[in-house]
Amino acid sequence: MTELRYPIGVQTFSEIIEDGMTYVDKTHFIPLLIKSKYIFLSRPRRFGKSLLLSTLEAYFEGKRHLFRGLALDSMDVDWDPSPVLHFDFNSGVYETAVGLVARLSMTLETMEMKYGLPTASDTRELIPLRFERIIKQAAEMTGRKVVILVDEYDKPLLGLEKNREVFEDNQRLLKSLFGNLKSMDRYIRFAFLTGVARFSKVSIFSDINHLKDISLDDQFSDICGWTEEELVGTFRQGIEKLALRRKEEYATTLSVLRDYYDGYRFTSEGSRLYNPFSVLRALDSLSIEPYWFESATPSFLFRMIVDNAIDPADINGHLFSKRELMQVRIGARNPIPLMFQTGYLTIDSYDEELDGYTLRFPNREVEVAFSEDLLPVYFEQSTTSDEPFNIVGFRKDLAEGDPVSFMKRLATAFKDLPVEDQREGTYRAVTYLLCKVCGMDTRTETHSYKGRSDMEVLTRRYVYLFEFKYNKSAREAMEQIHSRDYAGRYALDARTVFLIGVNYCDKKENRGLTYEIQTL
């Protein structure tokens, strides 16, 4: 049996096919895509958008030999080549006013050379005119209408919320560049733009006639990402090899892969999807790990959560309209739409009566990555410690039934919390995130017949039941645990149950964490 070759980091369709790498066939979507002229698709990073554009580029360039044996090869489509203008914003530095100008000028210069045009000055003002001239020249030289592919259009915008001057400069330049698509419509065959976020009140696309957003379209729900059928059909050999390494049954390994990497849904009726990047990394390295941290999520997303005192334990289960999910507003206080578009949240269900989507974390990998990315933000302004917490130590304490050591570590960590973030809710949030990062089954607001406990952490041998107070006392927290019988449900549980009353005082003279621990 031929060994599978995984295209780790390879986003070029021709390279994957010509080098015999494993490819999940998505070419059957192409005839459906090209029924429209202007299309926009939002998907998280590392989800296959670049490969999709590269596949479209190969098709429009008439490279039929690359599609032999694939779905498109037997479909009735026009294989006559068209000139393709491909913009890739994945690479480039956009934090300064000249970054986007330099990137665009380099791309346009390559196009000018290809179509026999003199290279123009790289001034900001000339960039839209250069693009217009290239479109016209390419169409007239080849006698075919032009195809325009734009990969990650929003990369020059994300992360610039605190640098409004550069953001607005980049926004105006992108608007003027893509505004040419309207005036050059007679020369254009097809245009496809992708990104993570679709910004509202930015109007980059306002001049494009009939731009079709397929991001929440059921027809295209699995255009990026892999269904379990595709995963098993293409990578069964790799899954079997991984199961052998893990010394477990094939079905068990598949179940673990599903738990870690499956669960994305981008439409109300769409299939559950696996993250291609993480699956490839797992199969290639023969190790199931959280690889999501490599996906380069905008750091300001997490700062929004902390600054706006959003409880991370409450992020699952929010209801949003389609319009809210697909529009990102600069300066907005709610990070949930951006969390959906960046892949931290996915569609759990759709309420037809309310016309709203309920969101949740898609899988274990993302939930752990979210906690790992968010936790340091609470401590990023700390000046007293370079490493405010030791995750391995916290995990060991919980696993071995040592709540005293756990709370001592927690008290030390809270000393590094910036004064401006010392507010009610922060302490439970940090404790919750720590337990999540430790990989523990962590639950909040668990109902009992007399009320709801603040937080519970469940391990194989131990249960930790927390009640948090703020500027009160640990004794009051413990009394509430007993008076509301939060631990009653564990009366017959074989595990050891620890009751932990916690109080945090932010008064200067008594600032810090106190706690009381009892055993049920």
Query: Looking at the predicted structure, is the pLDDT value of residue 283 above 70?
Result: yes
For the stretch 2-13, pLDDT in tens is 789 999 989 999
For the stretch 187-205, pLDDT in tens is 999 999 999 877 654 556 6
- For residue 485, how far is the Cα from the chain centroid? 39
Query: Looking at the predicted structure, is the pLDDT value of residue 178 above 80?
Result: yes
Q: What would the mean pLDDT of 480-487 be, rounded to a whole number?
A: 93
**Residue 442: what are its φ and ψ, rounded to 5°?**
-115, 125
Cross-sheet strand order for the sheet of 512-519: 441-448, 451-458, 462-470, 496-505, 512-519
CA angle in degrees (0–180, nearest 5) for 394-261-284: 95
Which pLDDT band, with edges at 50, 70 and 90, does 323 fall under? confident
Reported pTM: 0.87
Residues with Cβ within 8 Å of 60's Cβ and at least 6 positions away in sequence, in order, are 81, 82, 84, 147, 189, 190
CB 61 within 8 A of CB 84: yes
Cβ atoms within 10 A of the Cβ of 170, count?
A: 23
CB 454 within 8 A of CB 428: yes
Mean pLDDT check: name the lowest of 179-193, 305-319, 354-368: 305-319
Judged by DSSP in three states, 170 sits in helix
Q: In angstroms, rounded to a whole number, what is the distance separating the alpha carbons of residues 257 and 428?
A: 30
Residue 377 in tokens: 């933000």
Q: What would the mean pLDDT of 26-51 be, rounded to a whole number?
A: 94
Q: In angstroms, rounded to a whole number, what is the distance separating the alpha carbons of residues 304 and 337?
A: 12
- For residue 333, how far is the Cα from the chain centroid? 18
Q: In angstroms, rounded to a whole number, what is the distance separating the alpha carbons of residues 372 and 448?
A: 30
- The pLDDT value recorded for residue 430 is 87
